[in-house]
């Protein structure tokens, strides 16, 4: 399936400092929550909107020094998908294209808040576990 990446928009970028007292020796597990949504606009069957989001939120059980929400949407123009496998392949590829933008937005947002920047890991495998059976490494599939 052929497609072209048309661009990316920030749907939401938010940062809220929480006044949580942490001991210097305490390690904070950020536990980011990722989400993805794929939409087809009503007016154009050849366009797909793929949104990637990350959320880091403080809770009573697991206090964090900040809350962060970031939601980016990529616009893709594609030829008609031939079946569910090609559509799934497109979603995986679109996610691989958008993830570096999400990493950059999180790093920039935390840097702009004058805290130590948060750097999401670079990934070569799919971000979402449900994509892994469809992903082929040079040595075979990942389970």
- Give dist(CA 7, CA 73) in Å, integer: 8
Percent of the chain with pLDDT over 90: 56
Instruction: Residue 11: name the closest of 39, 44, 43, 42 by CA.
Output: 39
State the pTM of this model: 0.85
Average pLDDT over residues 19-43: 86
Q: How many helices (H) and strands (E) does the chain have?
A: 1, 6
Q: Predicted confidence band at 43 (pLDDT cuts at 50, 70, 90)?
A: confident
Percent of the chain with pLDDT over 70: 91
| β-strands 66-78, 47-56 pairing | antiparallel
Distance from CA of residue 52 to its chain's centroid? Answer: 4
Q: Which fold has domain 3-141?
A: Bacterial Protein-export protein SecB (3.10.420)
Please report the pLDDT score of residue 140 as a whole number. Answer: 46
| Residue-wise pLDDT tens digits, 69-117 | 999 999 999 887 678 888 888 999 999 999 999 999 999 999 999 998 9
Instruction: Residue 65: name the closest of 20, 108, 27, 106 by CA.
Output: 20
Identify the residue with better confidence: 82 or 37: 37
- Extents of the domains making up the chain: 3-141
Instruction: Residue 127: name the closest of 107, 104, 97, 84 by CA.
Output: 97
């Amino acid at each position: 399936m052929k497609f072209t990446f048309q661009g990316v928009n920030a749907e939401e970028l938010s940062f809220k400092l929480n006044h949580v007292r942490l001991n210097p020796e305490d390690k904070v597990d950020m536990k980011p929550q990722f989400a993805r949504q794929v939409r087809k606009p009503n007016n154009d069957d050849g366009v797909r909107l793929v949104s990637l989001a990350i959320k880091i939120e403080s809770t009573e059980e697991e206090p964090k020094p900040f809350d962060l929400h970031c939601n980016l949407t990529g616009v893709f123009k594609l030829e008609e998908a031939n079946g569910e496998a090609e559509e799934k392949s497109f979603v995986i590829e679109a996610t691989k294209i958008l993830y570096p933008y999400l990493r950059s937005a999180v790093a920039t947002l935390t840097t702009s808040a004058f805290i130590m920047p948060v750097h999401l890991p670079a990934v070569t495998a799919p971000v979402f576990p449900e994509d892994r059976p469809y992903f082929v490494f040079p040595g075979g599939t990942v389970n």
